[in-house]
Chain A
Amino acid sequence: MRRHEIPHELTSAKHAAIARFFGGGRPAIPQAPWAMSAHPTRNVLGVGIGRKITKGRITAKPCVRLYLEHKIDRALIPRDLLLPPSIGDVETDIIETGPLRALAAVPAGRKRVRPLRPGCSIGFHFTDAEVGNLMAGTLGAIVEADGLRFLLSNNHVLANENRLPVGTAIFQPGPLDGGGTEDDRVATLARFVALAEDAPNAVDCALAAVDDATAVRATVLPRVGRLASPEPVDAALGMTVEKTGRATGYTTGTVHDVSATVTVQFDIGRLVFEDQVLITGDGGLFCDGGDSGSLVVDRESSRATGLLFGGGREFGIVNHLGDVLSRLAVKLVV
């Protein structure tokens, strides 16, 4: 069915749905970022026309599609907020889309960055059965030990979850962002804290020794900028933080929990992390796939507080930076 072939009956039903769910405008109700709303004027994000999907199969029956941010169990929804099974004589079909948002411009950190700066894309080439896959994470910080300079990021960004040997080449940008040639090689995997599958973890971190120490700068890509001190600051509830990552660029957030024990899905399994910092984004996502390794910085003091490695729909998960630095026996370079 092409757009100009849509029967009038369907178009009318669609317009009726639009008037019903969007007609009064979106209510300016502040909503807790961890909550879901069953109210149709909040949960219905789009209205369209298509063929009804029943038990996963597209049927011949035309319908008005209601695109929802969250599909919520009917039993949990107050009766007066239930979505109608039909509009006029046209059946409705409910499809969960998750939140819809404008696609951000490609952050500058995904491009080639010289000198190297925290916030840019980095990564490795997969080996063995994973050859052909592409990845990219974020360079978190420049650190030093024994007069040598290293790139700090996550184990899963530099060491592929314990699976890469020391000496593996690290590229900027990461292969998913078009890097990966010999010309893009910037460092070699130096050491990592192994991720444990059978015991709680505290950190997901690794170091890569830079090939050319003169080709790195410690200033985090805009807008985080230069850190005020090499000493990290402990995360505190309500602290406002910022980060620059390869996927979502610069974002800000608020510390929600400083001692969370969480289960996080990795390739090697569902791992437990103890005493983690949880962060909610200010007005949107704090992080997304590709931001792993980002340095999280206290906005007030401009001191670093954490290393981002995981997240969910509403929260970013961050290692306490003090734990990271002590486990790797390194100091931040500012």
Chain B
Amino acid sequence: MPSAKDLRSVKERLAPRLLALDGVTGVGMREGRLTVYLDGPRDAARQHVSALVEAEAPGTIVEYFTSGQFRRVT
């Protein structure tokens, strides 16, 4: 399991590119894994995320969650 510091570094480095992918609503970290939030069950987005993470931070485990679209709550 990567250290929290290493994982944070991966998250901060990749977040802009991950958030630019269609369907990705968020990127976080949880229990040694990179968390990626999707607006629905998007296979293509998962494949793009996996490919990007594997290329840029090999060995990083990615956990996916379906969040729906995020919006302000007023």
Binding site for B on A (CB under 8 A): 34-36, 72-73, 76, 135-137, 154, 156-157, 204, 237, 247, 256-266, 272, 274, 278, 287-293, 308-317
Contact = CB atoms under 8 A, between A and B. Distances in A.
Interface residues of B, number: 27
B67 A310 contact: no
A58 to B, nearest CB: 26
B72 A260 contact: no
Interface string B31-73: 1000101010101000000000000000000000111111111
Contact of B25 (A154, A256, A312): A312
Nearest to B24: A263
B30 A261 contact: no
A316 B27 CA distance: 15
20 contacts: A73-B41, A154-B72, A237-B31, A259-B28, A261-B11, A261-B19, A261-B28, A264-B71, A266-B71, A278-B28, A288-B73, A289-B73, A291-B73, A292-B72, A292-B73, A293-B74, A310-B72, A312-B25, A312-B68, A314-B66
Those 8 A-B pairs whose CB atoms lie nearest each other, nearest first: A313-B68, A260-B28, A262-B26, A257-B28, A312-B68, A292-B74, A34-B65, A265-B71
B19 A308 contact: no
Interface of B: 8, 11-12, 15, 19, 25-31, 35, 37, 39, 41, 43, 65-74
Given A73-B41, A237-B31, A261 B71 contact: no
Most chain A Cβ neighbours within 10 Å, of B19, B26, B68, B71: B26
B72 A264 contact: yes
A256 B30 contact: yes
A204 B72 contact: yes
Chain B contact surface mostly: mixed
A36 B1 CA distance: 28
B70 A154 contact: no
Nearest to B19: A263
Contacts of A73: 41
A71 B25 CA distance: 20
Given A312-B68, A314-B66, A263 B25 contact: yes
Given A257-B29, A261-B19, A35 B66 contact: yes
A73 B70 CA distance: 21
A293 B72 CA distance: 10
